[in-house]
Amino acid sequence: MTSNLFGMMSEITTMPTLTDRIPTKEECLSILKTNGTPEHVIRHCLAVSNASRLIGIALSETGVSLDTELITSAALLHDIARTEKDHARVGAELLRKQGFERIASIVSQHMEHKFPDSLADVTELDAVCLGDRVVRENICVGFEKRMEDVFARFAHQPNAIAKITANIERSRAFIRAVEERVCRSMDEICGATVPKTDTLLLSVEKPGRYVGGEQNAVYKNPSTVSLRFGLAFPDMYEIAMSWMGMQVLYHMLNERPQIWCERVFAPAPDMAAVMKKNRLSLFALESGHPVKQLDILGFTLQFELSFTNVVHMLNQAGLAVRSADRDETDPLIIAGGPCAFNPEPLAEVFDLVAIGDGEEVLPELCELFIRMKNGGGQGGKKAFLKEASLLEGVYIPSFYEPRYAESGEFLGLKRTETDAPPRIKKSVVSDLCKAFIPLNPIVPLIETVHNRAAVEIFRGCTRGCRFCQAGMLYRPVRERTQSMIQNSVEAQLANTGYDEVSLLSLSTGDYSGVDVLVMRLMEYCARENVSLSVPSLRLDSFSFGILRELQKYKKSGLTFAPEAGSQRLRNVINKTITEEEIMTAVREAVSLGWNHIKFYFMVGLPTETQDDIDAIVSVSKCAVQTARSMQKKGNRMFTLSVSVSNFVPKPHTPFQWVAQDSQELLHEKNMYLKTQLNRIKGVSFRFHDTRGSHIEALLARGDRRMLSVITRAAELGCRFDSWSEHFRYELWMQAFADAGVSAEAAAFPIDGALPWEHISPGVHRAYLISEWERARCEYVTRDCREGCTGCGLNCRKDDSAGEYFIRAGGPV
């Protein structure tokens, strides 16, 4: 009774006054010390102060008006007199004498306080009391754990238990209200679940990779969702966060209240070592929870040289690499992305592989998962996979078995489940305007490769370059409307504060009405002090019109991609640009004020001869001369950088059957170019590691036997293979030898079975064969915007293809 009366009185007398200031943390510590408060109590106060502060901040972020400094300091001083009888009153008295009225009021009430019924009545006192109820001694353990202690203490006093239970129920209701308001669990809010990586992070490079907490990252209460999804990218944070698909899938899944999608990235080698030493599991970035606690872990396979990281991440998560070795309690491990179009090298790792546009198939899969889980989950994973295999774009590797000839030749896949489809058609978003587009992308705190807003303006490409896998996989072309693009750009910029926006596609200049779109966006961006970047422009006269406008505002680098040096070889690869067009583009660029441009070529293309390589040199020389002849005296000397990469034959392209040049031969070609190009003044030359390209080719076209190579390589220490500083070719060679798999990127017989042919991107085998034959005859095939070329998608329902090929000549 007295304490209640006291509480009321203190409320009346604690109207904030000028003298009622809040002591800093430092002052609080010194007050505690002067008062002789024992050390273990101070430690307790520090822990409560931290928990209370986090609760206060979480609530203020949702608009509740709370003074977090008052909370922090009051919590720090709440047990100042704990050694005394009636310590709340004594402590308050002591603080009031020093002029800390508001703090004294909180301290006086902290033992008897009852939480309010409504969040509208929440005060700093509630935050302090809640903080006090989640801390055991000096460790934040969470409310339920803390209450276990209380029950234990009063176990032999039934009367007390009844009273306590009523109180606890009231507290629980209050906690629920806070959780709902903040959209996070109380354990998470008060820091009871924060992984103990805190001090570990000081010893690793770029610790910002591992902390999350970025603007627009989504935090949910795990107890209120039905499905916890981990979106895994098998590379480091700064690579992963530059991938637009991450933003699409992440926000698309998180829009659904019953799903919490978190991100999972590969820790850099230094962090991986620290985690191993401290026995920390691979964790989800948002919750910090071990990956094992998730329901589904979905890997995106963007490039082959990330495959060893998939193995490492599963190891780090404490999960078996092969699906057959995992059990019902383990998360479902799935994959998607361009490399999933030949999933065989990792087929035995994944329970399920999603083929094609993720916007279509992923939500369907998640909904099915939730439906079956809520239905009791009878039949376990197997039942789910059987259901899932009926969806378009879903491949269940365990429902198929490879067959090999005695010679070792791959003969095809045999179905082991009768209902499994013989061919898996990719799932396609038919209308990109209806597809999900992220308007509030996560904004990384640390520097990433691309740290900017990005809007995909269309998917697919009509050019039909024969080496290009993306051009084959992402057919047909689907455009977003101008107004949708413009609205998305404006929304993304408003929600992120980015100062750069990029338009994404495989060939931006091919977008219908690209000039109008770019002009409009440029006006907007100039007004908003945002720079607009338009990559993947083809350098025809049309694109230069756009560039002329763009460079008034901001000058960017300029890259030409003739891909091959000679006209003959450009015909072979169906890159239809002529030498005259290249030189015109150079002249345009110089006249617009560029004095540096970049050329991009490939070596090792099918049918390549010495002449084709020499042509790279002569084109480069000609470009420099052309540019120089236009420059006036006093201009900075024109320079050209020539960048050469090594051709890697990819599945589902017309070149899928060809052998790759040996690593040594590719290297020789690069060295030759280096010598030749270095002789030309103003030309600099860059080339790619041929050994990496060799491994990439082997992984890209591997069958299921490749997994033993990948796991062996991972075991030997291969990881982050796309990073030159981490790539270890000799270990890969050893892995191939140990696994007894040939390390020769040999040709496939054109009439034989291919390991990836059960996966269908919609492009027909007959078309690929025809394109391969036309390539060898050096016949070009038209851009299919001009009329169908009969690839098999039949996206325009137009039959002109046959006729065209008769007119154009060459094999049909």
Partner 1 sequence: MRYLIRFEKKDRMIYISHLDVQRVFHRAVKRLSIDLKYSKGFNPHPKLSFAQPLSLGHSSTSEYLEFETEKDTTPPALLKERFNTILPRGIRIIDAWTLPYPGKSVSSLVAAAKYLIEIPFFYTYRETTMEFFGRERIMAEKSKKNSEPINIRPMIISLKPLMANDNTIALTSTLHCGSNSNLNPELMLRCFYECGGKAYDRDVVKFERVAMLGWSGDELTPLEYLCGAHTERRT
In the shown chain, the binding pattern of residues 166 to 205 toward partner 1, with x for contact by CB under 8 A and - for none, equals ---------------------------------xxxxx--
Residue 642 in tokens: 């020539």
Nearer to partner 1, 417 or 499 (CB): 499
Q: Which is nearer to partner 1, 220 or 758 (CB)?
A: 220
Amino acid at 321: V
Smaller CB separation from partner 1, 19 or 159 = 19
Distance from the Cα of residue 810 to its chain's centroid: 44
161 binds partner 1 (CB under 8 A): no
- How far apart are CB 206 and partner 1 at their closest, in Å? 8
β-strand partners of 596: 639
Residue 709: what are its φ and ψ, rounded to 5°? -70, -45
Q: How far is the CB of 811 from partner 1 (least distance, A)?
A: 53
Whole-number Å distance between alpha carbons of 5 and 725: 70
- Angle (CA) 220-224-230 rounded to 5° is 55
Instruction: Identify which range of 28-36, 394-402, 693-701, 768-776 contacts partner 1 by CB under 8 A.
Output: 28-36
Nearer to partner 1, 301 or 453 (CB): 453
Please identify, using beta-carbon distances, which residue of 26 and 751 lies nearer to partner 1.
26
Interface map 315-354 toward partner 1 (x if CB under 8 A): ----------------------------------------
For partner 1, which stretch binds (CB under 8 A), given 2-10, 22-30, 509-517, 623-631? 22-30
Backbone angles phi, psi at 20, to 5 degrees: -80, 75
Calpha distance 287→606 (Å, rounded): 49
Q: Which range of residues in 55-63, 232-240, 461-469, 801-809 is near partner 1 by CB under 8 A?
A: 55-63
**Closest distance to partner 1 from the beta carbon of 32 (Å):** 8
Site string for partner 1, 772-791 (x = CB under 8 A): --------------------
Nearest distance in Å: CB 336, partner 1: 29
**CA–CA distance, 457 with 478 (Å, rounded to integer):** 9
Please state the closest distance from residue 203 (CB atom) to partner 1, in A. Answer: 5
Euclidean distance between CA atoms 483 and 468, whole angstroms = 30
Restricted to residues 438-457, the positions that interact with partner 1 (CB under 8 A) are 443, 445-447
One character per residue 235-264, x = contact with partner 1 (rule: CB under 8 A): ------------------------------
**Region of 30-38, 94-102, 469-477, 646-654 interacting with partner 1 (CB under 8 A):** 30-38
Cβ at position 433, least distance to partner 1 in Å? 27
Residues 539-568 that bind partner 1 (CB under 8 A): 554
For partner 1, give the closer residue by CB, 42 or 465.
42
- Taking the C-alpha atoms of residue 416 and residue 351, their distance in angstroms, rounded to an integer, is 15
The helix (H) or strand (E) run that includes residue 9 is helix 2-13
> Exactly one of 3, 6, 11, 25 binds partner 1 (CB under 8 A); which one?
25
Total site size for partner 1, rule CB under 8 A:
45
Q: How many other C-beta atoms are found inside a 10 Å radius of the C-beta of residue 75?
A: 33
Task: Give the chain's count of helices (H) and strands (E).
Answer: 29, 21
Which stretches within 576-717 are classed as H helix? 579-591, 610-630, 663-678, 690-700, 706-716
The Cβ of residue 284 has, within 10 Å, a number of other Cβ atoms equal to 26
Touching partner 1, residues 56-85 (CB under 8 A): 57, 60-61, 68-69
Nearer to partner 1, 29 or 160 (CB): 29
Q: Which listed residue (32, 317, 394, 700) binds partner 1 by CB under 8 A?
A: 32
Nearer to partner 1, 203 or 578 (CB): 203
Q: Could you give the dihedral angle defined by the CA atoms of residues 564, 565, 566 and 572, in that order, rounded to the nearest 10 degrees?
A: -10
- Choose, by CB under 8 A, the member of 8, 9, 39, 139 that binds partner 1: 39
Instruction: Provide the mask over 513-532, with x wherever binding to partner 1 is found by CB under 8 A and - wherever it is not.
Output: ----------------x---
Q: Which two tokens stand for residue 569?
A: 């070889």
Q: Looking at residue 319, what DSSP letter applies?
A: -
Q: Which is nearer to partner 1, 215 or 483 (CB)?
A: 215
Residue with Cβ nearer partner 1 (203 or 609)? 203
**Stretch of residues binding partner 1 (CB under 8 A), selected from 33-41, 544-552, 594-602, 715-723:** 33-41
Contact in structure between 427 and 360 (CB atoms under 8 Å): yes
ω before 476 within 30° of 0 (cis)? yes
Smaller CB distance to partner 1: residue 100 or 732? 100
Q: Which is nearer to partner 1, 214 or 417 (CB)?
A: 214
Identify the residue among 5, 12, 15, 18 touching partner 1 (CB under 8 A).
18
Minimum CB distance to partner 1 smaller for 29 or for 739: 29
Write out the binding residues for partner 1, residues 201-230 only, by CB under 8 A. Answer: 201-203, 207-208, 210-215
Q: How far apart are CA 335 and CA 393, in angstroms?
A: 12
Taking the C-alpha atoms of 508, 511, 517 and 518 in order, what is their torsion angle to the nearest 10 degrees? Answer: 20
What are the DSSP calls for 449-485, one per residue?
S--SEEEE-EE--SS--TT-HHHHHT-S-EEPPHHHH
Residues 652-671 that bind partner 1 (CB under 8 A): none
Q: Reduced to 3 DSSP states, what percent helix, strand and coil does the chain have, rounded to the nearest 5?
A: 45, 10, 40
- Say which residue the tokens 């998730």 belong to: 294
Q: In terms of CB distance, is 448 or 722 closer to partner 1?
A: 448
Residue 188 CB, shortest distance to partner 1, in Å, is: 11
How many C-beta neighbours within 10 Å does residue 174 have?
21
Kindly state the smallest distance separating residue 518's Cβ from partner 1, in Å.
Answer: 20
CB of 126 to partner 1, least distance (A): 20
Q: How far is the CB of 69 from partner 1 (least distance, A)?
A: 7
Closer CB to partner 1, 229 or 498, in the complex: 498
Nearer to partner 1 by Cβ, of 40 and 686: the residue is 40
Please give the Cα distance from 340 to 362 (Å, whole number): 14
- Cα–Cα dist 444/496, whole Å: 10
Could you say which of 6, 11, 29, 804 contacts partner 1 (CB under 8 A)? Answer: 29
* Three-state SS at 600: strand
Residues 6+ away with beta carbon under 8 Å from 36: none
Please select the residue that binds partner 1; options are 5, 15, 26, 423, rule is CB under 8 A. Answer: 26
User: With helix as H, strand as E and coil as C, how does 392-428 read?
Assistant: CCEECHHHEEEEECCCCCEEEEEECCCCCCCCEECEC
- CA atoms of 92 and 90, how far apart (whole Å): 5
How far is the C-alpha of 361 from the C-alpha of 335, rounded, in Å? 12
Beta strands in 324-398 (DSSP E): 332-336, 352-354, 394-395
The 485-504 contact track toward partner 1, x by CB under 8 A, reads: --------xxxxxxx-----
Residue 210: CB minimum distance to partner 1, A: 8
Cα–Cα distance, 60 to 181 (Å, whole number): 11
Stretch that binds partner 1, among 21-29, 170-178, 663-671, 749-757 (CB under 8 A): 21-29
Distance CA(167)–CA(175), nearest Å, equals 12
Residue ranges binding partner 1 (CB under 8 A): 16, 18, 24-26, 29-30, 32-33, 39-40, 42-43, 54, 57, 60-61, 68-69, 199-203, 207-208, 210-215, 443, 445-447, 493-499, 529, 554
